[in-house]
Amino acid sequence: MILFPAIDLKSGECVRLKRGEMGEATTYNADPAAQACAFADMGFTWLHMVDLDGAFAGESRNGSAVEAVLEAAGDRLKVELGGGIRSMAQIEAWLEKGVTRVILGTAALRDPDLVRQAARQNPGRIAVGIDARNGKVAVEGWAETSDMEAQDLAKSFEDAGVAAIIYTDIDRDGVLAGINWEATIALAEHVSIPVIASGGLASMADIVRLTMPDAESLEGAISGRALYDGRIDPHAALQLLNAL
């Protein structure tokens, strides 16, 4: 069970949003590379990064910050990156720069063939980000909600060789409301692709919840605001999860 600390990038800084609203951003660190090193020092082995500006723009907007993180902590952290990555050229460029896994979100809905091609050419290095509002897939930095059910989109990649599905309940993201366990576990049981829970992880109680038998179907969970605010003790959390 992997606990992924999150770095969301806006204007080159580490921020957290509330329910994906760019106007509801709290800055936690102006130096993403230093924050990544801090996470590595805490004992984390993975880092979840999202270029928020890029997600809205459809292309990289915080590339220099990502590169700084890779240079500073890439030898200690496996980095998964999403946000505005919508072409094979962008995917290959980030993989070559040292990103372990590229996350495709909007592209998964708009251009599923790209996901399949990327996963085929880069085994184990492509994840699909499924962000849902009331069970429906949201895209373009969560600005648009589609008619596609999250479970249906996940199922469509069952045979594509996707390494993981990162499932975010937008209504719980950044508000410390707790993970939507029912929907997340139902998704994990619906597909054979490993599922990572995102959105709402609020306290050590959620870490304990990850150790329950029905959560065994999950690959892990992403922690953002709760980790930055000190609501989760990283050492205690990692000790609990590493014991599984």
Q: Is 8 one of the catalytic residues?
A: yes
Which among 8, 51, 53, 206 is annotated as catalytic? 8
Tokens standing for 79?
């980095």
Residue 232 one-letter amino acid: I
Q: What is the DSSP letter of 237?
A: H
Give residues with Cβ within 8 angstroms of 146, minimum separation 6: 109, 136, 137, 138, 139
As a whole number of angstroms, the distance between CA 219 and CA 95 comes to: 22
- Helices then strands, counting H and E runs in the chain, come out as 11, 12
| Bridge partner residues of 82 (DSSP) | 50
Known catalytic residue: 131? yes
Residue with tokens 């709760």: 226
Angle subtended at Cα 207 by Cα 217 and Cα 162, rounded to the nearest 5 degrees = 35
CB 39 within 8 A of CB 77: yes
53, 40 Cβ separation under 8 angstroms: no
- Provide the β-strand partners of residue 48: 6, 80
Of the candidates 51, 131, 173, 206, the residue annotated as catalytic is 131
The catalytic residues are 8, 131
